[in-house]
């Protein structure tokens, strides 16, 4: 209801203004019927009739006006009624529109010259009806994008001039025409292209020219537009002040003009209306006049291409999923131990007892007892890997003449079985490893497809604001693109001249416009231009330091550290202690760290990463074991994820407050299946993570001494902290370094 009331009021005011507009002489107010009948032609109903007739009578309160109003009702109501039932040709509306205007000709029939003037005016009104119909068609069909051809620009300009004439005719103490003109000049200055500000000043100046027959006012309007554009800045009131000062100067220093306080009121009211525009409305109208269909089409192509990529990723993901299923079906698994014993026992009888002359007695007379004795020997052999004379029961020693051959053959069979079982196990482990990785790849591709499938939302309003802000700083911007991956993640791409190197200015301008800290994350050379990608800064940044010493003071040791960037705002720091000391331990820990770095960079899940590396190291054979102490930091989500496998505790230090993160489990590569110890913590400003190998803990002779020593270190520099802690551990053992020792410190600080 409220919306209808505002619509009625707005349409009533527009009708009144148009009905006040005239041509040649003030009495020829004939433009109103053109707008009225064009609205009916575009589908307007009785509501339009009820709005137009009162406005027309208010603007033409005389006997002829009353006759014309009655004739309008008599022709318009049947026209609306018929139009609702069937579609009529456009020329019918034009003929019906002419009928009420005949009263004007009859009223002036005594004067041929005046009658001809009215005929001319009525025909102009008919032409204005065509103009209004064209303008209404633009509003109806292209409400969201005002890209006009030449004919439409001319039609819209004529409509604005007629409105301006009507506003000039409504002048009391202040001119509505001047107020609206200044309002549009200020609005176009800040929200649209500069040419629209000049166009508004010219069109509204023409209205003043028609009514007051003065060429001065159009020139003053153009001067106002020039000053508004010239003083355009972030402080919008400067444009208004410039226009006010210009008006005062013209009044005092130009002899043809005089100072008028009402003119200042007109400027102030126009500026106040400009400041009263809601921000959402301004952005909406800006998009209507500036959005290009080309940009919409190109952005649509981007989303369509992404849909195609998503479909292919999903198809490839399904391939990997099927391969995972196939490899898991190929896993054989070892035969049950009871079946293995039965086969080995049967082979033992065939090889040892086949040519023995006591075979029949042993197998036939004492068969079950003999086989039970063999089974006892097999149980011992399966557990220890071989049998000895001590495993042979006295009964069999006294009875069998081939004890040595029996033991040798049994050991050979057990060895062959163990080798076969290990081969099957390793083969199955390899297949399982491949299957796990295929499954991980399938999951990664599916997740990647989901990420890509999310429609990128472009923010045209923000693009314009950023472009304007950079323009104020005299930075040339060829193109601006702002797209959102989700509600909180914006990525900005700017195309600027290649010679521009002060990227900090761009970062400050973009950050100021959006209200969040942004930085240039990528720069691409495009010949004479460069393409900058800006992303939001994470909440924290980090610095790290490391210090280490090998057993007996040698520099190369079995500890390996890592500190790498995985993605924007995501980092990994880690420490691996290889089994033993020296080059062999260093090779083991380096292998584990390098694998972890590469897997995490590829965005594999932590469970898959650790499981895969554990299987690789266990299949590799030998004592290829390493402890792992990892921390994955997400500086956007403000989280620490500690992952430990056989590593000692680590410490999170903030001033003198220490938080201990415990570790547990066996080193990686010891068992085929393992479960890491994972601890999650929230980041606090200025947290320092301190990791150390077991050589440091052993040097301090336990946790308490190490923690007490940490409280004595006051430095906040992670490199200095690592060096002081390592020096303290060496001093604690009086320089007798019996194990490799490494300290890794990492400090986060808010941006």
Q: What average pLDDT does this structure show over 358-374? A: 62
Give the range among 48-62, 101-115, 520-534, 715-729 with minimum mean pLDDT: 101-115
Instruction: Give the confidence band of 191 by pLDDT, cuts at 50, 70, 90.
Output: confident
> Tokens in use for 592?
């584990």
Note the pLDDT of residue 413: 80
> Is pLDDT above 60 for 299?
no
pLDDT in the model for residue 400: 74
Range of 310-319, 342-351, 534-543 with top mean pLDDT: 534-543
Cβ atoms of residues 31 and 71 within 8 Å: no
Q: When comparing pLDDT for 132 and 359, which is higher? A: 132
pLDDT over threshold 50, residue 350: yes
Contact 418, 447 (CB under 8 A): no
**C-alpha distances in Å from residue 65, one per residue of 28, 33, 59, 100:** 11, 12, 9, 10
With residues binned 3-state (H G I as helix, E B as strand, rest as coil), the percentages for the chain, rounded to 5, are 60, 15, 25
> How would you label 466-493 residue by residue, b for 16+ Cβ within 10 Å and e otherwise?
bbbbbeeeebebeebbbbbeeeeebbbb
CB 729 within 8 A of CB 713: no
Residue 719 pLDDT greater than 90, yes or no: yes
Q: Among the residues of 330-366, which ranges form H helices?
A: 337-352, 359-360
Cβ pair 507, 554 in contact under 8 A: no
Average pLDDT, the chain: 80
Nearest to 575 by CA among 697, 699, 674: 697
509 pLDDT more than 70: yes
pLDDT at 144: 46
Q: Pull the structure tokens for residue 284.
A: 């909406």
* Alpha-carbon distance values, 103 to 33, 52, 69, 129 (Å): 13, 18, 10, 19
User: Cα(198)–Cα(207) distance, rounded to whole angstroms?
Assistant: 15
pLDDT given at position 25 = 64
Q: Is pLDDT of 335 > 60?
A: yes
Q: Could you tell me which of 694, 702, 701, 684 has the C-alpha nearest to residue 743?
A: 694
Q: What is the 3-state secondary structure (H, E, C) of 38-86?
A: HHHHCCCCHHHHHHHHHHHHHHCCCHHHHHHHHHHHHHHHHHHHHHHHC
Question: 495-500, long-range: CB within 8 Å, 24+ apart, which pairs?
Answer: 495/526, 495/529, 495/530, 495/531, 495/532, 496/529, 496/530, 496/532, 497/528, 497/529, 497/530, 498/525, 498/526, 498/527, 498/528, 498/529, 498/530, 500/475, 500/476, 500/530
Give the whole-angstrom CA distance, residue 644 versus residue 336: 35
- For residue 439 the two structure tokens come to 């499954």
Around 377, how many Cα atoms within 13 Å sit in the side-chain half-sphere?
Answer: 29
Question: In this predicted structure, what is the pLDDT of residue 726?
Answer: 92
Instruction: Give residues with Cβ within 8 angstroms of 720, minimum separation 6.
Output: 545
Q: Could you tell me what percent of the chain has a pLDDT over 70?
A: 82
Contact present, 746 and 688 (Cβ < 8 Å): yes
Residues 526-545 pLDDT 10s? 778 888 999 888 889 999 99
Stronger pLDDT, 207 or 556, i.e. the higher one:
207
Task: Between 272 and 615, name the one with better pLDDT.
Answer: 272
Residue pair 352/402 in contact (Cβ under 8 Å)? The answer is: yes
The percent of residues in the chain predicted with pLDDT above 90, rounded, is: 10
DSSP 636: T
Cα angle vertex 255, ends 252, 256, to 5°? 115
pLDDT bucket at 623, cuts 50 / 70 / 90: low
Contacts of 680 (CB under 8 A, 6+ apart): 639, 640, 641, 642
pLDDT band for 100, please (50, 70, 90 cuts): confident
Bridge partners (DSSP) of residue 349 are none
Identify the pLDDT of residue 327: 67
- Mention every residue, 6+ apart, whose C-beta is less than 8 A from residue 26: 169
Q: Which comes out higher in pLDDT, residue 652 or 406?
A: 652
Select from 464, 574, 466, 459 the least CA-distant residue to 510: 466
Distance, in Å, from the CA atom of 69 to the CA atom of 258, rounded to the nearest integer, reads 42
State yes or no: pLDDT of 364 exceeds 60: no
Q: What angle do CA 236, 238, 242 make, to 5 degrees?
A: 135
State the pairing for strand pair 688-692/540-549.
unpaired
C-alpha distances (whole Å) from 547 to each of 112, 696, 728, 732 are 108, 11, 12, 16
Of 35, 289, 22, 62, give the one whose Cα is nearest residue 159. Answer: 35
Least confidently predicted of 31-45, 293-307, 397-411, 557-571: 293-307
pLDDT-derived band at 284, boundaries 50, 70, 90: low
Q: What is the pLDDT of residue 543?
A: 93
Please, are residues 240 and 271 in contact by the beta-carbon 8 Å criterion?
yes
Q: What is the mean pLDDT of residues 91-114?
A: 74
Q: Look up residue 250 and give its two tokens.
A: 């013209």
The CA distance from 415 to 272, in Å, is: 97
User: Mean per-residue pLDDT for 470-478?
Assistant: 80
Non-local CB neighbours of 238 within 8 Å, separated by 6+ positions: 231, 232
Q: Give the separation between CA 36 and CA 16, rounded to whole angstroms.
A: 11
As a whole number of angstroms, the distance between CA 239 and CA 267 comes to 11
At residue 181, the pLDDT reads 92
More confident position, 727 or 297: 727
Residue 263 carries which DSSP code? H
pLDDT (mean) for 475-482 = 84
* pLDDT number for residue 294: 47
Examine the pLDDT at 660 and tell me if it is beyond 80.
Answer: yes
User: How high is the pLDDT of residue 286?
Assistant: 61
Q: What is the 3-state secondary structure (H, E, C) of 679-709?
A: EEEECCCCCEEEEECHHHHHHCCCHHHHHHH
**pTM summary value:** 0.55
- Mean pLDDT lowest for which of 214-218, 344-348, 591-595? 344-348
- The residue-averaged pLDDT of 301-326 equals 71
Taking only the tens place, the pLDDT of each residue in 584-603 is: 777 777 878 888 888 777 77
């Amino acid at each position: 209801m409220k919306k209808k009331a505002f619509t009625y009021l707005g349409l009533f005011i527009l009708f009144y203004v148009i009905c006040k507009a005239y041509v040649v002489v003030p009495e020829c107010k004939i433009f109103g019927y053109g707008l009225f009948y064009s609205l009916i032609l575009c589908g307007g109903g009785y509501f339009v009739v009820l709005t137009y007739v009162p406005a027309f009578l208010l603007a033409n309160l005389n006997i002829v006006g009353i006759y014309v109003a009655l004739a309008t009702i008599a022709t318009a109501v049947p026209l609306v009624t018929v139009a609702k039932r069937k579609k009529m040709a456009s020329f019918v509306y034009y003929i019906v529109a002419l009928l009420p205007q005949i009263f004007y000709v009859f009223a002036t029939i005594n004067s041929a010259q005046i009658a001809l003037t009215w005929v001319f005016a009525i025909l102009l009104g008919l032409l204005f009806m065509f103009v209004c119909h064209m303008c209404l068609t633009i509003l109806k069909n292209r409400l969201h994008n005002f890209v006009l051809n030449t004919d439409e620009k001319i039609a819209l300009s004529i409509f604005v001039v007629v409105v301006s004439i009507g506003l000039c005719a409504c002048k009391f103490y202040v001119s509505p025409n001047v107020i609206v003109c200044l309002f549009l000049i200020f609005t176009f200055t800040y929200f649209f292209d500069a040419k629209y500000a000049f166009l508004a000043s010219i069109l509204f100046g023409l209205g003043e020219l028609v009514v007051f027959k003065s060429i001065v006012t159009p020139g003053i309007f153009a001067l106002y537009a020039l000053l508004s554009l010239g003083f355009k800045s972030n402080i919008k009131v400067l444009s208004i002040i410039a226009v006010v000062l210009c008006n005062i100067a013209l009044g005092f220093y130009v002899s043809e003009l005089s100072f008028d306080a009402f003119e200042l009121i007109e400027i102030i009211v126009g500026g106040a209306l400009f400041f009263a525009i809601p921000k959402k409305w301004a952005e909406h109208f800006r998009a209507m006049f500036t959005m290009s269909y080309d940009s919409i089409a190109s952005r649509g192509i981007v989303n369509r291409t992404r849909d195609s990529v998503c479909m292919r990723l999903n198809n490839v993901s399904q391939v990997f999923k099927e391969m995972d299923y196939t490899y898991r079906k190929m896993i054989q698994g070892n035969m049950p131990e009871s079946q293995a014993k039965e086969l080995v026992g049967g082979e033992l009888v065939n090889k040892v007892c086949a040519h023995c002359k006591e075979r029949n007695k042993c197998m036939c007379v004492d068969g079950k007892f003999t086989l039970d004795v063999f089974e006892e020997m097999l149980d011992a052999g399966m557990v220890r890997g071989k049998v000895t004379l001590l495993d042979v029961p006295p009964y069999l020693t006294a009875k069998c003449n081939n004890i040595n051959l029996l033991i040798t053959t049994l050991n050979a069979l057990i060895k062959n079985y163990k080798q076969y079982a290990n081969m099957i196990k390793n083969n199955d482990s390899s297949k399982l490893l491949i299957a796990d990785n295929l499954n991980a790849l399938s999951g990664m591709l599916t997740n990647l497809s989901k990420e890509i499938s999310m429609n990128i939302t472009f923010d045209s309003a923000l693009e314009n604001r950023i472009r304007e802000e950079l323009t104020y700083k005299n930075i040339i911007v060829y193109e601006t693109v702002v797209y959102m991956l989700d509600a909180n993640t914006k990525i900005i791409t700017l195309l600027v001249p290649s010679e521009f190197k002060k990227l900090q200015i761009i970062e400050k301008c973009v950050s100021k416009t959006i209200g969040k800290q942004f930085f240039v994350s990528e720069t691409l050379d495009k010949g004479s231009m460069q393409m900058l990608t800006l992303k939001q800064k994470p909440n924290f940044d980090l610095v790290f330091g490391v210090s280490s010493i090998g057993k007996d003071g040698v520099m190369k040791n079995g500890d390996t550290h890592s500190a790498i960037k995985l993605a924007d705002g995501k980092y990994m720091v880690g420490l691996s202690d290889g089994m033993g000391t020296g080059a062999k331990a260093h090779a083991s820990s380096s292998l584990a760290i390098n694998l972890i770095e590469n897997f995490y960079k590829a965005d594999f899940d932590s469970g898959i990463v650790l499981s895969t590396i554990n299987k690789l190291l266990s299949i590799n054979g030998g004592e290829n074991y390493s402890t792992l102490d990892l921390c994955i930091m997400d500086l956007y989500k403000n989280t620490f994820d500690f992952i430990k496998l056989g590593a000692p505790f680590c410490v999170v230090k903030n001033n003198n407050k220490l938080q201990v993160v415990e570790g547990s489990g066996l080193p990686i590569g010891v068992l085929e299946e393992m479960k890491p110890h994972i601890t999650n913590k929230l980041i606090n400003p200025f947290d320092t993570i301190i990791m150390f190998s077991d050589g440091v803990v052993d040097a301090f002779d336990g946790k308490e001494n190490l923690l007490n020593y940490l409280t004595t270190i006051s430095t906040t520099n992670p490199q200095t902290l690592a060096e002081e802690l390592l020096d303290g551990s060496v001093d604690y053992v009086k320089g007798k370094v019996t194990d490799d020792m490494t300290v890794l410190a990492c400090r986060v600080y808010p941006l």
